[in-house]
Amino acid sequence: MPARRAQQEDDLISVLVQAEVADEDGTRHVLTDEEILGFAFILLAAGSGTTWKQMGITMLALLEHPEWLARVTDDPTLLRPVIEEALRWQPTDPAFARYVVSDTTLAGVEIPAGAVIHTVFGAANRDPARWDNPDVFDPGRPLQTHLGFGGGRHICLGMHVARTEITTAIAGILQRLPDLRLDPDAPPPKITGMYERGPTAVPVLWDPA
């Protein structure tokens, strides 16, 4: 950071050393070294474990639904609804905690200040009032907003880069590995975990080109 404060380069730290934030009382200040370090840690943690796990979930969903695997192989533009449906059906981050700052009543439930609540985006993504047959992976369903990337002021900062990475990676895999299929002799993949959820392994076979 001291080096970037002395001389800016074409990188994120250089942007951050010049950035200003407003405190709650409106006072503006440039970010301290601790704030920049904290932001870099958040980006590293939030951006590294999530995308590859969500990509694994999406690949597994395709491999378990060969009709969709065939369709996206023929027409990669279908990856968009496939990726969004995988984010709805099995988000890698299905739950996040919130610290309650003031006494609140939510859907008739009284929540005192100081409580910690766990908002389960994964459950909202399967709310039968919003989604028909919510437990079914169906990229053909009408596109609607979901909470796979959260919502509101803390919505995922990296959602567009994550979508781009997953699209690029899966399109590349489908193009380069013909007749990709689950290995029938390997243990069936399982999606596990509450945070950074994903399949532990997705063993596959393909035909050499």
Which residues in 109-128 contact ligand HEM (CB under 6 A)? 121
What value, to the nearest 5°, has the Cα angle with vertex 180 and ends 138 and 70? 40
- Cβ proximity to ligand HEM, 78 vs 117, nearer residue: 117
Residue in this structure with the two tokens 């951006």, named with its chain if needed: 47
Q: Choose one: 42-50, 135-143, 170-178, 192-200; the region binding ligand HEM (CB under 6 A).
A: 42-50
Q: How many residues bind ligand HEM (CB under 6 A)?
A: 21
Question: Between 154 and 176, whose beta carbon lies closer to ligand HEM?
Answer: 154
Asked if residue 161 binds ligand HEM (CB under 6 A), the reply is: yes
Among 19, 43, 201, 205, binds ligand HEM (CB under 6 A): 43
**162 contacts ligand HEM (rule: CB under 6 A):** yes
Nearer residue to ligand HEM within complex by CB, 73 or 92: 92
Tokens of 153: 């002021």
Decide if 61 contacts 86 (C-beta within 8 A): yes
* N-to-C CA span, the chain: 48
CA distance 141 to 195: 26
Closest by alpha carbon to 94, among 191, 16, 13? Answer: 191
96 contacts ligand HEM (rule: CB under 6 A): yes
Where do the DSSP E strands lie in the chain?
20-22, 28-30, 95-99, 104-106, 109-111, 116-120, 181-182, 191-192, 198-199, 204-205
Interface stretch with ligand HEM, choices 14-22, 86-94, 108-116, 138-146 (CB under 6 A): 86-94
Query: In the complex, which residues of this chain contact ligand HEM (CB under 6 A)?
Result: 42-43, 46-47, 50-51, 54, 91-93, 96, 121, 148-150, 154, 156-158, 161-162
